[in-house]
A = this chain, B = another copy of it.
Amino acid sequence: MQAGKPILYSYFRSSCSWRVRIALALKGIDYETVPINLIKDGGQQLAIIEYLEETRPTPQLLPQDPKKRASVRMISDLIAGGIQPLQNLSVLKQVGEEIQLTWAQNAITSGFNALEQILQSTAGIYCVGDEVTMADLCLVPQVANAERFKVDLTPYPTISSINKRLLVLEAFQVSHPCRQPDTPTELRA
């Protein structure tokens, strides 16, 4: 391992780890992955992304304009603080096996109802305008969770089309859960 190379403690399936992997890929930061089979609390990985933004400012993951920055953070927080924490593994264990699918679907659809409306006023090619921002890093992993929990995405055309445009980008590809060191063989792609 190279001296000073950052280490990411990562879980292939975690949407929180994935957000950080996209940021690292976008900023071209080489890192070691140490897989941990554990899902951490949702919000905390945004602190890593803000840290990366401050120490490695290029490419920018936050717009210059304070109002646009607030939009980016509002969308990021809606996902990382308002949706993901309600459908993560530890919460689903607590609610019990019989209702956990319905619980996760409810958490995601009520969040996506709000998100779809917000995006209709902020989106360009991506979540806020035409540049990839922190909000996009949160969107793609959350849509993947929605698909895993079989949420019908038809009512969310803006979310779906932004997600499609992001998924083809290199940084979103290399960071994808199906391509991580700890991805089980049967889930690789």
Contacts and interface: CB of A to CB of B under 8 A. Distances in A.
Interface of A: 41-48, 50-51, 54-55, 66-67, 69-71, 73-74, 76-78, 80-82, 84-86, 91, 94-95, 103, 106, 111, 114
Contact of A86 (B50, B67, B86, B114): B86
A73 B81 CA distance: 13
A109 to B, nearest CB: 13
Given A91-B86, A94-B106, A106-B94, A81 B50 contact: no
B51 A81 contact: no
B82 A42 contact: yes
Most buried by B among A43, A84, A103: A43
Contacts of A81: 41-44, 46, 77, 80-81, 84-85
B103 A74 contact: no
Nearest to A73: B47
A70 B47 contact: yes
Overall SS of chain A's interface: helix
A51 B77 CA distance: 13
Contact of A95 (B71, B82, B95, B114): B95
Contacts of A103: 94
A82 B43 contact: yes
Nearest to A106: B94
A78 B80 CA distance: 11
Contact of A44 (B54, B67, B77): B77
B80 A54 contact: no
Contacts of A69: 50-51, 54
A86 B107 CA distance: 11
Contacts of A94: 103, 106
A46 B66 contact: no
A101 to B, nearest CB: 14
